[in-house]
Structure 1
Amino acid sequence: MAEENYYVSVDTGGTFTDGYVSYPGGSTTVKVPTTDHDLTVCFRNCIDKAADKLEKPTEEFLVDTDVIRFSTTIGTNTIIERSGPKIGLIVTGGNEDDLFRAEDGDGELIASDDLVVGVEERTSANGEVIEPVNADEVQSAAKTLMNRGAKLLLISFANSYHDETNEERARTVIETEYPPHYLGPNQVLTANEVSSRPGYRTRTYTALVNAYVHRPMARSLYKAEDDARNSGYSNPLLIGQSTGGVAGVSKTVALHTYNSGPVAGVLGADAFRKLYDLDSVMSADMGGTSIDLGTIVDGELDRNLLPEVAGLPVHVPMIDVHTAGAGGGSIASVRDGELSVGPESAGAEPGPACYDLGGFDPTTTDADVALGYIDPDYFLGGDQQLNAERAEEAIERQVADALDVSVAEAALQIRERVDQNIADSIESQLAERGEDPEDVTLIAYGGAGPTHCCTFAEKAGLSRVITAPAAAEFSAFGGATLDVEHRYSEAFGETITGDAPSIDTRAFDRTVEQLEAEAIQDMAGEGFDEEDVQLQTSILARRGSEVREVTLPSRLRGTDDLDPVIEAFDADAEEEIDLDTVVLTAVGPVATETLEPQALEGEDPSDARKGSREAYWPVDGWEETGVYQREDLRPGNVVEGRALIEATDTTYVVPSAWTYRIDEYGNGIIER
């Protein structure tokens, strides 16, 4: 038997952890419960289950695995749970009282007033060290903070984005004074490791949030990598980044992993956009806890150059994902005669009432079971049995009786409410981008996405939906499309006007050359030859509070090369634009997932029909409805609504006036 080469992508979600494995001639998916107490456990469980499905011992499977990509919620969970370490912050003297202010007190869980200590040092706005740090003062500050309970020390000095000398000197002083067994590993961090952009307050916030998630992230990721290596895997573990792409564990900045799972799904949707040559798509990932929406208009991903994490602005450009509390586990309740669904979720444990694990609250999934849309004996392909009676009892007790309607009508109202909430979010996102819903194709995925997509798409004015064969594991598929990517940046600090776009081009070129040298060296360490690395130069430019990232040539030959900056802001002749930071993006190609077209067969889906059952539909009520097996549908087959299409990972609900067609790539095209 020929040796296989496997490419593994693992995505941890709030309820389930998904695995997508591709290999020459095929692919497969697996799903395991997320182990919130330790995400490295579900990571390994996912790999073990994939090996078992491919009928190989885990060790043999990992020996034959070329790439493992891991999109993890460790950093996100650390912030949500407030489980990070107590941080002591050393700042430039005089900034102790006003540098860190949490407007609503929430941020004080990351840094409190008594854990901020100033030391005398000074770096000018031009990057010249005017007053070096004093070793005795730094030692005293560190001792004070540790005596007050700090478990990690963070150093952030004013203007050190220009020259990190004082920050690094302070770190060296602390690490020299205190032996490793006293400090512990990775106990001293500096702001220059995370941000080289101007803005002392935001730069400090960025470093604080990164420091907060650094230790649990480093501990977990190195543990996951070591575990895989000890079992036969020989290459770096690649970690999903919210900026796009993946990076090795040693090159991963903790903050860059924030929200990386949902971002992988958006990037998977972008891969579909390119496959179908579409201008604009919206991704909708409806899982057990929430729905994540991503918008790509005219081929441009929605990037936030100053996102907020834990309520604090950070200097980490992230692909924007809008999250709403509307998932399969969203809890339905009636207050003062009004039905609401979410944002509270039953999660995976105890989960919806139909899980029969002790949950008593009715949820979206309970409604889908009560309506006959989800077969309780075929949930997750039969791997998990659901209790329909528990679902109906919960809906009757907490919704139907309160609204004085039947259980079926109450379940339909739950479904309609959650789908309207999603439609409202979609309309809002598209309106912000100035996009007409009729011009947008929806990419629907997640465990509950195919079950609800037709309804919320129609309510939002969309008429075309694309679903992947492995819809519930689509974020893991998205991770499988990502290359290694690193971003490098250096403060620049020149100002231009609309009629005088002139800068010191030699200084710009020198900065780019320095970043390129660093990128090539790092990429070589990750196994990439220089000629294989793709480099792109851009500038972070600012006009007032408006910030844009604009692509520029790697070497500036004249003022015309700055025209894209002027055009990006539509700047008037005398308007000033600050060129804050030079950015270099380096991409190293990794074998990624590609979809090959197949020959189309006939439209008749009869061979995939597995029977029928009663389902409750708007207006018409209970109707005998055809049921089809998704895996048995062939390219070219067309299923007319009303219909239920069952897959091993989800159920597709196709209302009347909609059709479901399998195209040449094996994807489901749903249109009305």
Structure 2
Amino acid sequence: MGLLVNIDNGGTFTDVCISDGTRVVHAKAPTTAHDLTQCFIDVLTLGSRELYGEADFGRLIRDTDCLRYSTTAGTNAVVEHKGTPVAVLVEAGEEQTLYGAKERLGGNELWQAMVPEPPAGIHVTGDGDINADDLLRTINTLLANGALRLIVALRSKTAEQNVKAELLERYPRHLLGAIPFLISSELVEDADVARRMVTAVVNSYLHPGMEHFLYGAETICQDNHLHRPLLIYRNDGDSARVAKTTAIKTWGSGPRGGLEGAIAYAKLYDEGSVLAVDIGGTTTDMSIVFDQTVAMVPYGDVGEVNVSLPMPNLRSFGLGGSSIVSVSDRAIIIGPESVGASPGPACFARGGTCATLTDALLLCGVLDPDKYLGGQMTLDLARAEQALLRVIGEPLGIDAQAAARATIEAFEKASGDNFARAIRDGGREPGDTCLVVFGGGGPMIATGIAEAAGIKRLIIPRLAAVFSAFGIGFSHLAHEYQVPLDGADPQKIVTELRARAERDMYGEGVPPEDCKYESRLWGSRDDIVVEAPLTDLAGFAAEVDHVRVTLKAVFELPTSTLVKDDVDGFHAAPVSGSATLLGSAEAGAEVPTYDDTALAPGHIIEGPGLIRGDYLTCLIGVGWSLRVTSNLDLVIEAQRHG
């Protein structure tokens, strides 16, 4: 078997995780938002150096059997409102009402960025017939107003197909003047016309930028002789080649990778209630894993709009290592604005002057200035001190060290409050829930955050710094299809979906007969997706809303692996040195430090202690005990809890 390579392209850093079957190596590179192709190449080059001892991008690609990739491009376009604007065609009379969605979309900044001009209307009869001349005049007006892409969102499929036929006849796709268009009912099946319209708009808004970048990345892989097509990881937890991926399904795919890893960990450690938390440079993403599954909402949100696709019940808030810290009414405020990787925190010495959590952790002695990102970057202690003193210390009348500690405490409290609220909203208690925390900023002050939330047990994965990339490696090549039941014969629907699935899997380059096919009933109850076997139709239909038939086609790929925990003896971990933590309650107190590469199964650490490594920093607070599992994960439990 060749190499398994997973890439998670985040807002601040791009991570890679590489497995050769016997070991796993990883690397990080700053995300180059202006050109995502560059950080794609950079992180693979760094990964090749970790694997081979020298940088060899071409060799890494040639040796790779499966390359899965999750990109932040779609998320960035939504957050920054930097996609390609679209024109919308609706039924006459709905130009202003938008099928009843005007009230929630009228003042929506994302909608205004996606659809800068009012939608145009055409007349549609009750049978779905349209007037070809009316359509032609409307389209010509849209083109004259600068429309680059068109969404067709009509009530009936028949009407939409009639429009499609006319567009293909009047504007053949082989002509340079052809306008790219999307038929909303071909993208999603949803009786809610407004939601279907919005879904199609988002997809078309993201499509050009995604297409340009992803095909560029695929070309790079092909030029370097990747054995199989580049696979794009989606927000439904599966992967597919670029040509078979819809743009909207890349939105939020990185956090979903962390969720897949958290599900695997819930099974590995037999945890019934898990809060999965990814603390990155820009945001903190969290989701509840109950009974080793992730709750899905039937109609998820993309940025500020509701769409027709199910998505994980994921919460995000603007707290991360690069979040900007400020003071308002003598209270420390963290985020939601972030400085990202460029210019980055003040300590990056790249021109940034804003104070951040990273600056505070450096000044308090938690971070080693010479080992950040495996030594790729040296942090500037003086710049961190200046920023914290100016932004926090002077307004509050305290010195820089006290400002750093106050910043950390504010981050712990804000994060802890969010964690506890999410757990209780799910019907569980923090004390009965295990925190699985990862991301570049996740482990650093995890025990402080857990204590603030009332959580007594947490797990830090051995690959916490690149855990979302690692989690992507549990995905398979798959496609899922949904059709509303609407009184039809479920078996007939399954037969039709099976034929469609086999065509798509053939298009993926895999034998359809080697795939697994599973059909189920799908519905929603209390805004959560529920599923059941087809044989349970009568009872299921009476208990849920929006009943559909689903079919999923799966071609299994080599996946990430975990080691079952069977440690039968424990002994103290070797101490590598000591560090002075400043700005703490015991200013100037020294704590033992531990080299993360020296930790082995069965090692234990009693807090306080500080684990330091190239990509892992973890402060173990007083009253917490850590043990290393067979999988080299860190399980930390509270010995006393105030």
d(CA) in 2 for partners of 1:167 and 1:305?
29
Q: Does 1:41 align with 2:34?
A: no
Residues 54-92 of structure 1: CA deviation (Å, up to 9, x unaligned)? 226322221221111111111111112222222111122
Name the aligned partner's letter for residue 658 of structure 1: W
CA deviations 1:264-289 (Å, max 9, x no partner) are 11111111111112112111111111
Preserved contact between residue 115 and residue 145 of structure 1 (Cα < 8 Å): no
Aligned partners of 1:444 and 1:471 also within 8 Å: yes
Task: Count how many residue pairs are aligned between Structure 1 and Structure 2.
Answer: 632
Look up the match of 1:501.
none
Say whether the 8 Å CA contact 2:597–2:613 is kept in structure 1. yes
For 2:471 and 2:520, how far apart are their aligned partners in 1?
25
Structure-2 residue corresponding to 1:168: 164
Secondary structure of the 1:273 match is helix
Among candidates 11, 17, 26, match of residue 20 of structure 1? 17
Note the C-alpha offset of 1:533: 2.6
Cα pair 1:352 1:366 within 8 Å, conserved: yes
Counterpart residue identity of residue 147, structure 1: A
Q: Does 1:229 align with 2:231?
A: no
Aligned to 2:435, which of 429, 434, 442?
A: 442
Does structure 1 retain, via aligned residues, the 8 Å contact 2:572–2:605?
A: yes
In structure 1, what is the equivalent of residue 563 of structure 2? 596
Q: How does 1:65-76 map to 2 (within 5 A)?
A: 65-76=64-75
Q: 2:209 is paired with a residue of what secondary structure?
A: helix
Q: Answer yes or no: is 1:268 the counterpart of 2:261.
A: yes
SS of corresponding position for 1:516: helix
> Can you list the C-alpha shifts for 1:439-459, whole angstroms capped at 9, x where unaligned?
211111111100021111111
Residue 183 of structure 1 aligns to a residue whose secondary structure is coil
Report if the CA contact (8 A) 2:275-2:286 is conserved.
yes
Paired residue for 2:604? 638
In the alignment, is the contact (CA less than 8 A) between 2:78 and 2:110 conserved in 1?
Answer: no
Match of 1:183 among 157, 178, 183: 178
CA distance in 2, matches of 1:578, 1:481: 30
What is the match of residue 207 of structure 1?
200
Counterparts in 2 of 1:665 and 1:114: CA distance versus 1, 3 Å = closer
Post-superposition offset of 1:303: 1.0
What CA deviation, in whole Å up to 9, does each residue of 1:232-257 have, x standing for no partner?
10312111111221111111111011
Cα offset, 1:49, TM superposition = 1.9
Paired residue secondary structure (1:447): coil
1:106 to 102, 105, 109: 109
Corresponding residue of 2:121: 118
1:374-423 deviation line (CA, Å, top 9, x unaligned):
11122122221001111111111221122122322221110011111111
Deviations 1:212-238 (A, max 9, x none): 001111111111111111111031211
SS in 1 for 2:455: coil
Q: Deviations over 1:602-650 (max 9, x none)?
A: 644554x321121137432321111111011111111111111012113
Residue identity opposite 2:238 in structure 1: G
Letter in 2 for 1:180: L
2:309 maps to 1:316: yes
- Is the Cα contact below 8 Å between 2:268 and 2:564 reproduced in 1? no
- Is 1:373–2:366 an aligned residue pair? yes
Please give the per-residue CA displacement for 1:301-357, whole angstroms capped at 9, x wherever unaligned: 121211222322100111122111111112221123222122121211111111111
Match of 2:550 among 561, 583, 594: 583
| Structure 1 residues 533 and 578: alpha-carbon distance in aligned structure 2, compared to 1, 3 A threshold | same
Unaligned runs of 5+ in 1: 125-129, 495-503, 570-576
Output the amino acid matched with 1:41: Q
Distance 1:415 1:583 in 2: 47
**Counterparts of 1:174 and 1:272, CA distance in 2:** 55
Q: Tell me how far apart the structure 2 counterparts of residues 219 and 237 of structure 1 sit (CA, whole Å).
A: 14
Matches within 5 A, 1:62-461: 62-99=61-98, 101=102, 102-112=105-115, 114-122=117-125, 130-160=127-157, 165-176=161-172, 180-183=175-178, 187-461=180-454
Going from structure 1 to structure 2, the CA distance change for 1:143 and 1:323 (only over 3 Å counts) comes to same
The CA distance in 1 between the partners of 2:166 and 2:444, in whole Å, is 56
Does structure 1 conserve the Cα–Cα contact (< 8 Å) formed by 2:485 and 2:549? yes
- Return the alpha-carbon distance in structure 2 between the equivalents of residues 393 and 289 of structure 1: 22
Aligned residues of 1:629 and 1:645 also touching (Cα < 8 A): yes
Please tell me whether the aligned partners of residues 171 and 177 of structure 2 are also in contact (alpha carbons under 8 angstroms): no
Number of the residue aligned with 2:592: 626
Distance 2:37 2:305 in 1: 28
Name which of 509, 515, 518 aligns with 2:500: 518
Distance 1:587 1:621 in 2: 56
Q: CA deviation at 1:137?
A: 2.8
Query: In the alignment, residue 494 of structure 2 is paired with which amino acid?
Result: V
- On the 8 A contact 1:247/1:484 being kept in 2, the answer is yes
Cα pair distance change 1:146/1:287, threshold 3 Å? same
Aligned to 1:51: 48
1:277 counterpart letter in structure 2? D
CA deviation after TM superposition for structure 1 residue 8, in Å: 0.5
Equivalent residue for 1:472, pick from 465, 468, 488: 465
- Measured in 2, the distance between the counterparts of 1:110 and 1:582 equals 35
Write the distance in 2 (CA, Å) between the matches of 1:411 and 1:113.
Answer: 44
1:127 counterpart residue number? none
Q: Distance in 2 between matches of 1:29 and 1:357?
A: 25
User: TM-score by structure 1 length?
Assistant: 0.90
What RMSD, in angstroms, separates the aligned Cα atoms of the two structures? 2.2
In the alignment, residue 302 of structure 1 is paired with which amino acid? A
2:531 to 547, 551, 557: 551
How do residues 535-550 of structure 1 correspond to structure 2 at under 5 angstroms? 535-541=517-523, 547=527, 549-550=529-530
CA shift in 2, pair 1:542/1:326, >3 Å: closer
Asked if the contact 1:155–1:170 (Cα under 8 Å) also holds between the matched residues in 2, the reply is no
C-alpha distance in 2 between matches for 1:434 and 1:51: 45
Does the CA-based 8 Å contact 1:540-1:548 persist in structure 2?
no
Answer whether contact 1:243 1:316 (CA < 8 A) is retained.
no
Q: Which amino acid aligns with 1:20?
A: C
What is the rounded CA distance, in whole Å, between the counterparts of 1:356 and 1:50 in structure 2?
25
Distance, in Å, in 1 between the alignment partners of 2:626 and 2:234 is 34
Q: Any gaps of 5 or more consecutive residues in structure 2?
A: none
Relative to 1, partners in 2 of residues 1:305 and 1:262: Cα closer, same or farther, differing over 3 Å? same
Q: Which amino acid aligns with 1:136?
A: D
Are positions 1:660 and 2:636 aligned together? Answer: no
CA distance, structure 2, for counterparts of residue 29 and residue 587 of structure 1: 28
Q: Distance in 2 between matches of 1:302 and 1:552?
A: 15
